[in-house]
A and B are shown apart, each in its own frame.
Chain A
Amino acid sequence: MSFFEAQNISISFGGLRALNQVSFEVNQGEVFSIIGPNGAGKTTIFNCINRYYDLDEGAFIFKDKDISKVRPHMVPGLGIARTFQNIELFANTTVIDNLLLGRHRHRRTNLLTETLFSRSVRRQEMESREKAEDIIDFLDLQAYRDQIVMNLPFGVQKTVELARALTMEPELLLLDEPSSGMNMEEREDLVFWITDIKEELGITILLVEHNMRFVNQLSDRILALNFGVVIAQGTPKEVLEHPEVMKAYLGEESVSA
């Protein structure tokens, strides 16, 4: 059984079929990319995994369990973390507070003990703090630790978004266009980080991206979507040279040329 699997998922919004019988498999420890022109349905897949939308048909199987019907806030508990295309950070709080929120799913205390700030709460807080600091070191965010997120440059905000997802200690990480809005330097750093995440932390990564070089460098396997339908699936070499894929991105003319 594969680590994560989408089985014939379909969803429609009004009359528009956003996803049509899409299936793919992700193996543990690999970087799996989803590419496709705008509107192909890539972010929709993520939103379905996160349970912001209900699937019309099909299922998601994660570690042999069907996760298609769980409540949205239970998804992190399963070990799935996600970043958002147009960052959804907690804008009015500091970077470190954002990261500490990522630790929420590991919370073992309850309201009563927290009100009294008992020993267990104290221990949990220090542990969270330590883990968050590890991630800050990992992604070089030390300089921004106590700054309000709203005031940071966009590229840094994206990194904070990634950091927050990492503090959740996920097994599966969903990255939605992590490199969009970043400059060359930041993008290079991101390539290294994602490789590190895969190799050092052993996290499986599901990546939605537009930047082909990026995708080519990082992916083990790729899924290409167009208008909600799978048009190719396989290794980077196979998919990126696939005529359908080229047609979707570059148009009819260029393929025949």
Chain B
Amino acid sequence: MEFLNEIVQTILSGIAIGCIYGIVALGFVLIFKATEVVNFAQGEMMVLGAFIAYSLTTFLGFSYWTALLLTTIALGILGMFLERVVLRTLIGEPVFVLFILTIGLGTFFRSFVSMVPGWGTDTYGFKTPFTDKVVNFANLVISWEHVSVIVMTIVLILVLFAFFRFTRIGVAMRATSQNQLAAVYMGISVHRVFSLTWIISGALGGIAGILLSPITFVHMNMGFIGLKAFPAAVLGGFGSIPGAMVGGVIIGVTESLAGVYLPIGWKDVAAWIILIAVLIFRPEGLFGIQEKKKV
């Protein structure tokens, strides 16, 4: 029973972390599909989200759910701000340039976090309505924390799915991601689509930050966990939305199992080994499509 308990716990926490990787990866993939830009700062936006949420609950006394809502909005606004001010000036520049730009942004955000009074370089605990609560189910002890992350992620996915499938603007976003010029001809405001993409991705970053906070605690280097979202996105197939989620969960579970059953150190590199293996053997990932340039 002990063993079963341990395995279930390990897998569950792996899925939970994997969900978070997936959400961050989703942020990347959305922006990538719409604008062909890779937002390297996605991880750092997650950190900002975590810190904002932490400040809201600790200093201003907001409840967890209010903080969740406010942070999501705040990060969404940040996303829109980034798109308006920074990205729009650079429309048409090669992708590499924009990628480096987001690296710069990410570096700036991380350092910025360390400089804000009350934030700095310390690690902070984060209490949620689910902290320290467990569920006893068929002789297994399951942490509510992990379950809540998984449940919230599922809700998030359903909302996004409905959005992209059934709303006009959602369909417009999908169209734009395939052919921008045609979208313009069809009367879709591409600028608005870009803004919306960044808003959603920003919001996703914020949500990821809040979900991650109770698990890894709030500190300025959380962004590196966000970096693991890259292998998740690649595993799922960069450009595939369900893939990002699936990739994230697979990496999360693998990491978790490696942490418990393999010697020390394997857990930290598991994601990267998977990444390199995927890139060598199946670069298009699980759900992606291989594209070849026609001459």
Tell me whether A and B are bound partners.
Answer: yes
A47 located at the interface, meaning its Cβ lies under 8 Å from any Cβ of chain B in the complex: yes
Q: Say what secondary structure dominates the interface of chain A.
A: loop
Contact partners of B295 in chain A: CB under 8 A: 43, 47, 52, 84-86, 88
**Interchain nearest-CB distance for B96 vs A (Å):** 13
**What 0/1 readout, one digit per residue, does chain A (63-104) give for beta carbons within 8 Å of chain B?**
000000000000000000000111010000000000000000
How far apart are B273's CB and chain A's nearest CB, in angstroms? 30
A86 and B295 alpha carbons, distance in the complex (Å): 7
- Residues of B within 8 Å of A88, CB to CB, are 295
A84 partner residues in chain B, CB cutoff 8 A: 295
Which chain B residues lie closer than 8 Å to A85 at the CB level?
295
Distance (whole angstroms) from the CB of A82 to the closest CB of chain B? 10
Report A51 CB to chain B, min CB distance, Å: 12
- Residues of B within 8 Å of A86, CB to CB, are 295
Rounded to whole Å, the gap between the CB of A43 and the closest CB of chain B is 8
Q: How far is the CA of A86 from the CA of B294 in the complex (A)?
A: 10
For the complex formed, measure the closest distance between the CB of A35 and the CB atoms of chain B, giving whole angstroms: 20
Q: How far is the CB of B294 from chain A (nearest CB, A)?
A: 9
B85 vs chain A, min Cβ distance (A): 28
CB-defined interface of B258-295 with A at 8 Å, one 1/0 digit per residue? Answer: 00000000000000000000000000000000000001
A47 surroundings in chain B (CB, below 8 A) = 295
Within 8 A of A (CB), among B42-71: none
Complex Cα distance, B295 from A52, in Å, reads 9
Q: How far is the CB of A165 from chain B (nearest CB, A)?
A: 14
A85, B295: Cα distance in complex, Å: 8
How far apart are the CA atoms of A43 and B295 in the complex, in Å?
A: 9
B295 nearest CB neighbor, chain A only: A84
Residue of B nearest to A46 (CB): B295
B245 to chain A, nearest CB (A): 29
Min CB distance A16 to B, Å, is 13
Residues in B neighbouring A43, C-beta threshold 8 A: 295
Q: How far is the CA of A47 from the CA of B295 in the complex (A)?
A: 8
The CA of A84 and the CA of B295, in the complex, are separated in Å by 7
Interface residues of A in 1-56 (CB under 8 A from B): 43, 47, 52
Give the shortest distance, in Å, between B295 (CB) and chain A (any CB).
6
Give the docked Cα–Cα distance between A88 and B295 (Å). Answer: 8
Task: Give the CA-CA distance A85 to B294 in the complex, in Å.
Answer: 11
Considering only CB atoms, which chain B residue lies closest to A85 in the complex? B295
A39 to B295, CA, bound (A): 13
Task: State A88–B294 Cα separation when bound (angstroms).
Answer: 11
Min distance, Cβ B67 to any Cβ of chain A, angstroms? 49
Report A220 CB to chain B, min CB distance, Å.
27
Minimum distance in angstroms from B292 CB to a CB of chain A: 9
Q: What is the minimal beta-carbon distance from A88 to any residue of chain B, in angstroms? A: 7
**Distance, CA A118 to CA B236, complexed state (A):** 50
- Least CB distance from A201 to B in Å reads 25
User: How many Å from the CB of B1 to the closest CB on chain A?
Assistant: 54
Least CB separation from A82: chain B residue: B295
Tell me how far the C-beta of A178 lies from the nearest C-beta in chain B, rounded to whole angstroms.
15
B65 shortest CB reach to chain A, Å: 51
Interface string of B14-58 (1 = CB under 8 A from A): 000000000000000000000000000000000000000000000
C-alpha gap A125/B61 in the complex (Å): 73
A84 to B293, CA, bound (A): 13
Closest to B292 in A: A52
Shortest Cβ distance from A243 into chain B, in angstroms? 33
Q: How far is the CB of A2 from chain B (nearest CB, A)?
A: 27
Bound Cα distance A31, B295 (Å): 23
A133-182 interface with B by 8 A CB criterion:
none
Least Cβ–Cβ distance between B92 and chain A, in angstroms: 14
Q: How many Å lie between the Cα of A84 and that of B294 in the bound state?
A: 11
Instruction: List the B side residues contacting A52 at CB < 8 Å.
Output: 295
Nearest opposing residue in chain B for A50, CB measure: B295
Give Cα A86 to B293, complex, Å: 12
Closest B residue, CB atoms, query A88: B295
Q: How far is the CB of A86 from chain B (nearest CB, A)?
A: 7
* B163, chain A: closest CB distance, angstroms: 33
Shortest CB distance A76–B (Å): 16
Q: Within the complex, what minimum Cβ distance (angstroms) separates A171 from chain B?
A: 22
A151 CB to nearest B CB, Å: 16
A120 CB to nearest B CB, Å: 35
Residue of B nearest to A86 (CB): B295
| Bound complex: CA A52 to CA B293 (Å) | 11
| CA of A47 to CA of B294, assembled, Å | 10
Q: How far apart are A238's CB and chain B's nearest CB, in angstroms? A: 31
6 A-B pairs with least C-beta separation: A84-B295, A47-B295, A88-B295, A52-B295, A86-B295, A85-B295
Q: List 7 A-B contacts (CB under 8 A).
A: A43-B295, A47-B295, A52-B295, A84-B295, A85-B295, A86-B295, A88-B295
